[in-house]
Amino acid sequence: MCGPTGGAADPYTLADLQCYLNQFKPAHYSHGGREPLLYAVVLLLSVQPRGLLAFLAQVRRGSAECSARWLGGPLHVGENVPSSRIT
């Protein structure tokens, strides 16, 4: 179940947002598969880099396939940087 676990005044967290967004299939966000990069944007904006890379690796449509290669490096490297080194 997604959403705050306490009372009505509890704020939603990033994990709550991610849980809610992941309830729907990629086709929900991409108009039946006609615009696959819309789902990629949802994953990127909701801070789900692994899901984004996995999705882009499956897409075989010109620019989306190329995007997976270009985004993969920086996103993979960024996950391994200790937070104390990010300024």
Rg (CA), the chain: 15
Sequential pLDDT tens for the chain (87 residues): 676 666 666 788 989 999 999 999 888 888 777 787 888 889 888 988 888 878 877 776 655 555 666 666 666 555 554 444 443
**pTM for this one?**
0.65
User: What pLDDT score does 19 carry?
Assistant: 93
- Determine the Cα–Cα distance for residues 19 and 21; give it in Å rounded to an integer: 6
